[in-house]
Amino acid sequence: MQDKEIMERTRRTEWFRHDRFGMFIHWGLYAIPARGEWVRSTEEMPEEPYLAYFREFTADRYDPKEWARLARQAGMRYAVLTAKHHDGFCLFDSQLTDYKSTNTPCGRDLVREFLDAFRAEGLKVGLYYSLLDWHHPDYPHFGDQNHPLRNHPEEGNEGRDFSRYLAYMHGQIRELLTNYGRLDVMWFDFSYGDMKCETWKAAELMEMVRSLQPHILIDNRLEGSGESSGSILTEHPTPYAGDFACPEQMIPPEGMRNTAGDPIPWEACLTLNNNWGYAAGDRHYKSARMVVRTLVECVSKGGNLLLNVGPNARGEIPEESAAVLRQVGAWMAKNGASIYGCGPAGLPKPEWGRLTRRGNTLYAHVLEEQAGAVCLPGLAGKVARMRRLEDGSEIPQKEHWNLREYPEYASFFLNPSTSDSYPLPDPMDTVVELTLREE
Ligand code: GLC
């Protein structure tokens, strides 16, 4: 990738770096056993018992309009659905397989309905497509790292023709990119061992994707995974390095830069409980407060958050997830200006919270109650005015007797009348908007 291509990447990712918050949706047959989307692999389950789920999948309460409304109300601006996960089951009406939602009792093209509903709510849309495929006969079985039948020598790989699998995979991706209108993100998952890069015919695939939808954003997992980001981290990314890195179940401690020190676009993907796919016994949900703070952390480091929900077999987003998203949405409705279009402040991380910034506007995310003033290092004399973002109320700039020896700091009190410790107005994250003086 040359400088010109990096410039194009910067242009392509503009909306993405602006929007910051998206919904990830992991949904498929695995919602029936309800032990996560890897169930076939972790339990080394043969095909036949899994096909029972195919024969009973009704998704009778699938109402993507409701999902889309929930995502929009949560302040999410884009969404990515698993069109095919590792189990190989397709949520779309592919002409290249019978293993698809239209052939289950549900009988619907779930991808098409998802796209229509989310676009109608004004959200950008993306599709996840698994490079792994545990259903396709030409995908390596015995000896593969992940395949459910990896320990079955009788499932040897003679007669399996990987090039046939590649033709299938490229063909399905072509279907998704030609039959479903404009897509904003293509999220491939994932590479491991030798199963990476040209094993997927990645250069050819990239060319096809870009020729069909030149604006589309592509993740970096034709080369990488949650374990390794690939050449997007270098100064000379390959043609299939992707447009953004996608750290998984973690937030990079200092954001993400390439070896030249330039920031690269990234998106942390995170589960809301401990599973991507629906897991009936997993009640370990993150609180709304934690989600808000995690989102703020991502933005303060120049990244996005793609937050996952795992709808159940009938097609409903679990109420626990929906409840958290509604609370996040209430915060976003008041404080979204400190997220959208924002990035790092270029200042050290303060002790009491985080900073985000858009141009000359700085957002102080006060997460911890302070015994006294909230101090802003390096900003003495630079602040024109301060307002609580949520209600626009003034936070006066005052000289205070016990701060006289600290003139290099700007500071404020959340309780204007006293320097006493004072409960934060918003325990999730109290945001103060600081308008900086023109230099
Ligand atoms: C992984 C997992 C997977 C999940 C994904 C999300 O690599 O294999 O189940 O879809 O990450 O990032």
276 in contact with ligand 1, CB cutoff 6 A: yes
Determine the average pLDDT of the residues in 310-325: 98
Query: Is-contact 238 1, C-beta < 8 A?
Result: yes
306 — pLDDT class (breaks 50, 70, 90): very high
Query: Is-contact 343 23, C-beta < 8 A?
Result: no
Nearest Cα residue to atom 5 of ligand 1: 189
429 CA distance to ligand 1 middle (Å) = 30
For the stretch 204-219, pLDDT in tens is 999 999 999 999 999 9
For the stretch 377-398, pLDDT in tens is 889 999 999 999 999 999 988 7
Mean pLDDT of the chain: 96
Atom of ligand 1 nearest to the CA of 189: 7
pLDDT at 422: 61
Q: Does the model's pTM come out above 0.85?
A: yes
- In whole angstroms, give the CA distance from residue 23 to residue 324: 13
- In whole angstroms, give the CA distance from residue 24 to residue 27: 10
Determine the average pLDDT of the residues in 155-167: 95
269 in contact with ligand 1, CB cutoff 6 A: yes
In SS3 terms, 239-281 reads as CCCCCEECCECCCCECECECCCCCECCEEEEEECCCCCCCECC
- Residue 419 confidence (pLDDT) above 60: no
Question: What's the token pair of residue 143?
Answer: 């000896």
248 in contact with ligand 1, CB cutoff 6 A: yes
37 in contact with ligand 1, CB cutoff 6 A: yes
For the stretch 271-299, pLDDT in tens is 999 999 999 999 999 999 999 999 999 99
C-alpha closest to that of 382 among 416, 430, 345, 353 = 345
77 CA distance to ligand 1 middle (Å) = 21
The alpha-carbon radius of gyration of the chain (Å, integer) is 24
388 CA distance to ligand 1 middle (Å) = 39
Query: Is-contact 377 409, C-beta < 8 A?
Result: yes
pLDDT at 72: 98
**Rounded alpha-carbon distances, angstroms, from residue 308 to 203, 296, 321, 327, 371:** 29, 17, 9, 16, 37
C-alpha closest to that of 273 among 106, 2, 37 = 37
264 CA distance to ligand 1 middle (Å) = 21
Distance between first and last Cα of the chain: 36
Query: Is-contact 188 219, C-beta < 8 A?
Result: yes
66 CA distance to ligand 1 middle (Å) = 24
Atom of ligand 1 nearest to the CA of 226: 7
What proportion of the chain, given as a percentage, has pLDDT over 70? 98
- Residue 336 confidence (pLDDT) above 80: yes
287 CA distance to ligand 1 middle (Å) = 22
228 in contact with ligand 1, CB cutoff 6 A: no
297: amino acid identity, one letter = E
Mutate to test the pocket of ligand 1, among 196, 248, 306 (most ligand atoms within 8 A of CB): 248
189 CA distance to ligand 1 middle (Å) = 7
For the stretch 50-89, pLDDT in tens is 999 999 999 999 999 999 999 999 999 999 999 999 999 9
- In whole angstroms, give the CA distance from residue 353 to residue 79: 28
25 CA distance to ligand 1 middle (Å) = 11
Q: Which run of H or of E encompasses 320?
A: helix 319-335
- In whole angstroms, give the CA distance from residue 258 to residue 427: 36
pLDDT at 418: 52
Pairing state of beta strands 361-366 and 430-436? antiparallel
Using the 8-state DSSP alphabet, how is residue 135 labeled?
S
- In whole angstroms, give the CA distance from residue 407 to residue 130: 56
Atom of ligand 1 nearest to the CA of 308: 6
CA angle 429, 425, 438 (to 5 degrees): 65
